[in-house]
Structure 1
Amino acid sequence: MAVVKLSRDGGAPFFRDDETVPGLLARAAVERPDHVYLRHDGHDLTCAGLAQAVGQLSAGLHAAGIRQGDRVAVMLGHHLDHVLVFFAIQQVGAVLVPVNTALKGPSLEYQIAHCAPAMVIADAEFSQVLEGPVHAARSSGALAASVWRMTDGELLPAPGTDLKNLRAEAVVALPVVAHDPRDLRIILYTSGTTGAPKGVQMSDRMVQATALGSIWLSDMRPGSVLHFWDPIYHVFGAEVLVLALMVPVTLHMVPRFSASRFWTEVREAGASHIHFVGGVLQLLLKQPPSDLDRSHGARIAWGGGCPRDVWAAFETRFGVEIREGYGMTETSSFSTINPGGSHAGKLGSIGTAVDYFRVEVVDEQGQPCAPGQPGEIRVAEVEPGVLTTGYYANPEATAGALRDGWLYTGDIAEMDTAGFITYHGRKKDSLRRRGENISAWEVERVVNDHPEIAESALIGVRNEIGDEDLKLFVRRIDGSTLDGATLLSWCSERMPRFQVPRLIRFVENFRKTPTQRIQKQFLSAAMDDFDHDAEAVKASSNKD
Structure 2
Amino acid sequence: MNDVGDETIGALLERRARLHPDDTYCTFRDERITFRLLKRRVDQVATLLKAHGLARGDRVAVMLPSHPEHLYVIFALAQLGMVRVPINVHLIGAPLEHLLTELAPQALVVDCAYEAALAGLASPLPTLIRRNGVDGEFDAYAACVEDTAPLDVAADDIVALTPSSGTTGAPKGVLKSDRHLRAGPMAVLRLTEAQPGDVFLFWEALHHGSGVAVAIAALIGRFQLAMLERFSASRFWDEARQHRATHIHYLGSVLPMLLKQPARADDREHGVRIAWGGGCPSHIWQAFAERFGVTMREGYGLSELITFVTANVDGTPGSIGKPLSYYEVTLIDDEGTPVHAGDKGEIAVRARDARLGFLGYFNNAGADAAARRGDLFLTGDLAHADADGNLFYAGRKKDMLRRRGINISAWDVESVFAEHEAIAEVALVGVPSELGEDELKLFVRVRDGVRVEPLDLIRWSSLRLPYFQIPRYVEFVDAFPKTPTQRIQKKELSREVVGVWDGAHTDFRVAKR
Q: In the alignment, which residue of structure 1 is the partner of 2:328? A: 358
Q: 1:118 aligns with which of 90, 93, 106?
A: 106
- Secondary structure (helix, strand or coil) at the match of 1:205 reads helix
Q: Distance in 2 between matches of 1:268 and 1:228?
A: 13
Q: In the alignment, which residue of structure 2 is the partner of 1:265? A: 239
Find out whether 1:292 has 2:292 as its counterpart.
Answer: no
Query: Is the 8 Å Cα contact of residues 92 and 174 (structure 1) preserved in structure 2?
Result: no
Q: In the alignment, which residue of structure 2 is the partner of 1:316? A: 290
Q: In the alignment, which residue of structure 2 is the partner of 1:164? A: 139
Report the residue type matching 1:14 in the other structure.
D
- Secondary structure (helix, strand or coil) at the match of 1:512 reads coil
Q: Distance in 2 between matches of 1:529 and 1:517?
A: 27
Query: Is the 8 Å Cα contact of residues 24 and 245 (structure 1) preserved in structure 2?
Result: yes
How far apart are residue 136 of structure 1 and its match? 3.0
How far apart are residue 448 of structure 1 and its match? 1.3
Query: Is the 8 Å Cα contact of residues 109 and 132 (structure 1) preserved in structure 2?
Result: no
Q: Distance in 2 between matches of 1:466 and 1:367?
A: 29
Find out whether 1:215 has 2:184 as its counterpart.
Answer: no
Q: 2:26 aligns with which of 35, 38, 54?
A: 38
Q: 2:203 aligns with which of 226, 229, 241?
A: 229
Q: 1:108 aligns with which of 96, 101, 113?
A: 96
Q: In the alignment, which residue of structure 1 is the partner of 2:81? A: 93
How far apart are residue 324 of structure 1 and its match? 0.5
Q: 1:137 aligns with which of 103, 124, 140?
A: 124
Find out whether 1:249 has 2:231 as its counterpart.
Answer: no
Find out whether 1:371 has 2:341 as its counterpart.
Answer: yes
Q: 2:506 aligns with which of 510, 527, 537?
A: 537
Q: Distance in 2 between matches of 1:485 and 1:420?
A: 38
Query: Is the 8 Å Cα contact of residues 255 and 284 (structure 2) preserved in structure 1?
Result: yes
Query: Runs of 5+ in structure 2 lacking a partner?
Result: 509-513
Find out whether 1:515 has 2:485 as its counterpart.
Answer: yes
How far apart are residue 128 of structure 1 and its match? 1.0
Report the residue type matching 1:100 in the other structure.
N
Q: In the alignment, which residue of structure 1 is the partner of 2:393? A: 423
- Secondary structure (helix, strand or coil) at the match of 2:297 reads strand
Report the residue type matching 2:233 in the other structure.
A
Q: In the alignment, which residue of structure 2 is the partner of 1:329? A: 303
Query: Is the 8 Å Cα contact of residues 234 and 514 (structure 1) preserved in structure 2?
Result: yes
How far apart are residue 437 of structure 1 and its match? 1.1
Q: Distance in 1 between matches of 2:22 and 2:358?
A: 35
Query: Is the 8 Å Cα contact of residues 48 and 138 (structure 2) preserved in structure 1?
Result: no
Q: Distance in 2 between matches of 1:191 and 1:269?
A: 31
Q: Distance in 2 between matches of 1:191 and 1:132?
A: 24
Query: Is the 8 Å Cα contact of residues 264 and 292 (structure 1) preserved in structure 2?
Result: no
Q: 2:435 aligns with which of 440, 460, 465?
A: 465
Query: Is the 8 Å Cα contact of residues 72 and 94 (structure 1) preserved in structure 2?
Result: yes
Report the residue type matching 1:534 in the other structure.
G
Find out whether 1:149 has 2:128 as its counterpart.
Answer: no
Report the residue type matching 2:37 in the other structure.
G
How far apart are residue 308 of structure 1 and its match? 0.7
Q: 1:192 to 1:407 in 2, by over 3 A?
A: same
Report the residue type matching 1:389 in the other structure.
L
Report the residue type matching 2:138 in the other structure.
L
Q: Distance in 1 between matches of 2:499 and 2:83?
A: 44
Query: Is the 8 Å Cα contact of residues 273 and 300 (structure 1) preserved in structure 2?
Result: yes
How far apart are residue 536 of structure 1 and its match? 3.6
Query: Is the 8 Å Cα contact of residues 40 and 146 (structure 2) preserved in structure 1?
Result: no
Query: Is the 8 Å Cα contact of residues 457 and 472 (structure 1) preserved in structure 2?
Result: yes
Query: Is the 8 Å Cα contact of residues 225 and 249 (structure 1) preserved in structure 2?
Result: yes
Q: Distance in 2 between matches of 1:174 and 1:405?
A: 41
Report the residue type matching 2:117 in the other structure.
V
Q: 1:310 to 1:266 in 2, by over 3 A?
A: same
How far apart are residue 538 of structure 1 and its match? 4.7
Q: Distance in 1 between matches of 2:123 and 2:307?
A: 32
Query: Is the 8 Å Cα contact of residues 390 and 402 (structure 1) preserved in structure 2?
Result: no
Q: Distance in 2 between matches of 1:236 and 1:328?
A: 10
* Percent identity of paired positions between Structure 1 and Structure 2: 43
Query: Is the 8 Å Cα contact of residues 227 and 269 (structure 1) preserved in structure 2?
Result: yes
Q: 1:78 to 1:529 in 2, by over 3 A?
A: farther
Q: 1:501 aligns with which of 471, 477, 491?
A: 471
Q: In the alignment, which residue of structure 2 is the partner of 1:15? A: 4
Q: 1:171 to 1:285 in 2, by over 3 A?
A: closer
Q: Distance in 1 between matches of 2:165 and 2:205?
A: 13
Q: In the alignment, which residue of structure 1 is the partner of 2:13? A: 25
How far apart are residue 132 of structure 1 and its match? 4.1
TM-score, with structure 2 as normaliser:
0.96
Q: 1:80 aligns with which of 56, 59, 68?
A: 68
Query: Is the 8 Å Cα contact of residues 251 and 486 (structure 2) preserved in structure 1?
Result: yes
Q: 1:171 to 1:46 in 2, by over 3 A?
A: closer
Query: Is the 8 Å Cα contact of residues 275 and 296 (structure 2) preserved in structure 1?
Result: yes
Report the residue type matching 1:255 in the other structure.
E
How far apart are residue 268 of structure 1 and its match? 0.5
Q: Distance in 2 between matches of 1:239 and 1:54?
A: 17
Matched residues, number = 508
How far apart are residue 327 of structure 1 and its match? 1.1
- Secondary structure (helix, strand or coil) at the match of 1:360 reads strand
Q: In the alignment, which residue of structure 2 is the partner of 1:5? A: none
Find out whether 1:406 has 2:351 as its counterpart.
Answer: no
TM-score, with structure 1 as normaliser:
0.91
How far apart are residue 176 of structure 1 and its match? 2.5
- Secondary structure (helix, strand or coil) at the match of 2:384 reads strand
Report the residue type matching 2:444 in the other structure.
V
- Secondary structure (helix, strand or coil) at the match of 1:127 reads helix
Query: Is the 8 Å Cα contact of residues 61 and 92 (structure 1) preserved in structure 2?
Result: no
Report the residue type matching 2:61 in the other structure.
A
Q: Distance in 2 between matches of 1:83 and 1:292?
A: 33
Q: Distance in 2 between matches of 1:147 and 1:292?
A: 45
Dislocated runs of 4+, deviation >4 Å: none
Q: In the alignment, which residue of structure 1 is the partner of 2:511? A: none
State how 1:474-485 maps to structure 2 within 5 Å: 474-485=444-455
CA deviations 1:114-149 (Å, max 9, x no partner) are 11111100110111111244x7334xxxx3x31111
- Cα RMSD (Å): 1.5
CA deviations 1:133-169 (Å, max 9, x no partner) are 4x7334xxxx3x311110xxx433xxxx52111442x
Q: Distance in 1 between matches of 2:498 and 2:204?
A: 38
- Secondary structure (helix, strand or coil) at the match of 1:182 reads coil
Query: Runs of 5+ in structure 1 lacking a partner?
Result: 1-7, 540-544
